[in-house]
Amino acid sequence: MIASILTYIFTAITIAPIVYILITKNVIRAVFSLAFSFLGLSGLYVLMNAEFMAVVQLLIYAGGIIVLMVFGLMLTKTTLNKGFITQHRSLFFGSLVSFLLFISLAALATRSGFKVGFTEHAGDPVAQIGQLFLTDFIIAFEVVAFLLLVALVGASYLAKKSGE
């Protein structure tokens, strides 16, 4: 019973900041509210017994990416505070598209009929993940590693170039 209440709380925590992002014109506030919504999400992951995922979410998303964005924001703003205010544009068109998409995908989802077979997990999920990393997903693991290397080197090179 508590779980469902917790789920509702956490969904509220994710949805509220998103709605705020939609409304606000201020970029800084949007970035921070994004961080909050990531918190809500990690809470949900916990409820779905994916503790590893929750931690990863918190660590990388809330910690890394948001910080990166703030940095990016700060560097690209010329004058204090004015630069953060943006305007909305083709409001009607964007909302129309997203709303239509929402409607049709929702209709789609309801018609697809999920069959949920509930299976209990055995053992510690994190160990299992670690095992899986090095067994089934070994190729993906190596590729991602390599990709991260390239990305970071590229990013730093680009940033450096803009540095001089």
Partner 1 sequence: MMEAISPTYFVFLSLFIFCAGIAIIIIKRSAIFVLIGIELMLNAANLNLVYFSQYDPGMNGLMTSVFVVVLAAAEVAIALAILLNIFKHYKITDPDELTSLKN
Partner 2 sequence: MTLIKTIWPLIFILPLFSGIIGGLNSKQSLKLSNFGIGAGLLFSIILVWLLDEPLILEWKWLEGVSFGFSIDRLNAMLVLLVYLITLLVQVFSITYMEHDPDQGRYTAKLGFFAFSMVGLLMSNQLVTLFLFWELVGMSSYLLIGFWYQEAARSKAARQAFMINRVADAFLLLGVIQVFNNGYATSFTEILSSGNQWDGFTGLCFIIGAFGKSAQFPFYGWLTKAMAGPTPVSALIHAATMVTAGVYLLVRISPVLIEWNLQVIAIGGAVTAFMAAVAALTQFDIKKVLAYSTISQLGYMILGIGVGAYQASVFHLWTHAFFKAGLFLAAGSVIHYMHELDSSKDAQDMRNMGGLQKILPVTFYAFLICGLALSGLPFLSGFLSKEGILTGSWLWGQSTGNYLVPVLAFCTAGLTAFYIGRQILLVFFGSSSFTQKIIEPMLTIRVPLIFLAVSSLWFWNSLNPINPLGWFWNSYLFADLGATSAQHSILGVLIGSIGLSLAGLGVAYWLYRPEAELTQNFKNSKEPAQLVGKISFHGWYIEKFYDQIVLLFSKIVAGAGWFDKKVIDRFVDGMGVTGVVMAKVIGWFDQNIVDGLVNFMASISQLIGRFVTSFQSPKIQIQIGWLLLTLLVLLLWFQFLT
- Other Cβ atoms less than 10 A from the Cβ of 109: the count is 10
Site string for partner 2, 33-72 (x = CB under 8 A): ----------------------------------------
Q: What is the DSSP string of 101-150?
A: HHHHHHHHHHHH-------PPPS-HHHHHHHHHHTTTHHHHHHHHHHHHH
Structure tokens belonging to residue 98: 């997203």
Q: Are 7 and 44 in contact (CB under 8 A)?
A: yes
The residue among 82 and 111 lying less far from partner 2, judged by its C-beta, is: 111
Residues 70-129 that bind partner 1 (CB under 8 A): 71-73, 75-76, 78, 86-91, 93-95, 97-99, 101-102, 105-106, 109-110, 114, 116-119, 121, 125, 128-129
Site string for partner 1, 1-40 (x = CB under 8 A): x-xx--x---x--xx--xx-xx----x--xx--x--xx--
Residue 100 touching partner 2 (CB under 8 A): yes
Cα separations (Å) of 106 from 94, 95, 98, 109, 121?
18, 16, 12, 5, 29
Least distance to partner 1, CB of residue 155, Å: 4
Residues that bind partner 2 (CB under 8 A): 89-90, 93-94, 97, 100-101, 104-105, 108, 111
